Amino acid sequence: MQFIDLAAQYQHLKTKIDKRIQTVLEHGQYIMGPEVKELEQKLADFVGVKHAITCANGTDALTLSLMALNIQEGDAVFCPTFTFFATAEAIAYEKATPIFVDSNPDTFNICSNDLEQRILAVLDEGKLKPKAIIAVDLFGLPADYEKLEALSKKYNLHLIEDAAQGFGGSITDTRGNTRKAGAFGDIATTSFFPAKPLGCYGDGGAIFTDNDEYAELIRSYRVHGKGKDKYDNVRIGMNSRLDTIQAAILLEKLAEFPVELDSRNHAAKQYTDTLQEQYKVPVVPNGYTSSWAQYTLQCDDRDKAIAEYKEKGVPTVIYYGTCMHEQTAFASLGYKLGDFPIAEKLARSVFSLPMHGYL
């Protein structure tokens, strides 16, 4: 069996996707064609925000967001240590300093209690200026944005939602108001890497915001800092556009996405019902919905469990076996083993089972 069966999804959507691609081939507007604008509007409508701006990939989405927020050298940006490298890489790329934060043992997401302690420690030291938080919706589950938004307001920090894995997830508050992943913080980002809940057939990404100023800046930065046209460059930007064929593919995948989310949640429930006596299974808090980018178990003897699944022909993957503070690229920050006990335990005990909309 496949860990993520993109072929099954394509066969299901083949006629519609092929027609969309053929339309692009016929009109020939391969860069920023009409499908890009159509996709951006439908993404904004799906998430429930004013602006959705597509770009070349999820890492660029983070970089563009940090550029719009004027993150720079001397700034401290807080992010989980248990995450994919791109989250912290984007911070370092802007010459800011990533300040790593421990994890919640049940949801895998950033721990708000540890986050506040890290903020206070940076303020006490006085060497860096606390500027922003990047929260990651790990494995499909939105982070605890009620607490995160309160902390960002308390300490006057920008909040970025990294929804690369969480797109399609949601939180319903006690008043019955539902917000979807991509609608939290000052700016949110996602990735359309093929393995993501909503993925294209290459690289792609998007940024979401209700802030008109940020949206205008991001639209400029993604095309070489353009002003009134592409030959009027008013700031230093980058080249980060979603190509039209990928937008065309995503339009058909987005139309089918709610059905696939139902299928993912059904599969996750079956996993939980079957495996909860054997492993520590994922926790979805009350009011939360996960898009199940991954179905991740915890096991003290992970190698043995993986070997048993392999014998049965079931593929598994480890997300993530190395925390950010353990990465060679961040060795100069001076973290040591034991600084993030929960995240380190997760890195040595988690493994993920197959998960997709056609399981």
Secondary structure of residue 235 in the 3-state scheme: coil
Question: What pLDDT tens digit does each residue of the chain (359 aa) get?
Answer: 999 999 999 999 999 999 999 999 999 999 999 999 999 999 999 999 999 999 999 999 999 999 999 999 999 999 999 999 999 999 999 999 999 999 999 999 999 999 999 999 999 999 999 999 999 999 999 999 999 999 999 999 999 999 999 999 999 998 999 999 999 999 999 999 999 999 999 999 999 999 999 999 999 999 999 998 889 999 999 999 999 999 999 999 999 999 999 999 999 999 999 999 999 999 999 999 999 999 999 999 999 999 999 999 999 999 999 999 999 999 999 999 999 999 999 999 999 999 999 99
3-state SS record for 202-216: CCCEEEEECCHHHHH
Q: Which is it for strands 178-180 and 158-162: parallel, antiparallel or unpaired?
A: unpaired
Which fold, 257-353?
Aspartate Aminotransferase, domain 1 (3.90.1150)
Would you give the distance in Å from CA 198 to the centre of its chain?
Answer: 11
Secondary structure of residue 17 in the 3-state scheme: helix
Can you tell me the distance from the alpha carbon of 243 to that of 23, in angstroms, rounded to the nearest whole number? 14
Residue 86 identity = A
Residue 265 identity = N
Q: What is the predicted pLDDT for the residue at 230?
A: 82
Q: Which of 72, 46, 73, 68 lies closest to 55, judged by CA?
A: 68
What's the pTM value of the predicted model, to 2 decimals? 0.97
Rg (CA), the chain: 20
CATH tag, 6-100+109-254: 3.40.640.10
State both tokens at 182. Answer: 């991509």
Secondary structure of residue 226 in the 3-state scheme: strand
Q: Count of CB atoms within 10 A of residue 8's CB?
A: 14
DSSP class of residue 106? Answer: T
Q: Which residues contact 349 (CB under 8 A, 6 or more apart)?
A: 298, 299, 300, 302
Can you tell me the distance from the alpha carbon of 72 to that of 89, in angstroms, rounded to the nearest whole number? 13
Q: Count of CB atoms within 10 A of residue 331's CB?
A: 10
Q: What is the predicted pLDDT for the residue at 229?
A: 86
Domain borders along the chain are: 6-100+109-254, 257-353
Q: What is the predicted pLDDT for the residue at 132?
A: 98
Can you tell me the distance from the alpha carbon of 47 to that of 179, in angstroms, rounded to the nearest whole number? 8
- How far apart, in Å, are the Cα atoms of 46 and each of 13, 39, 51, 254? 20, 10, 11, 9
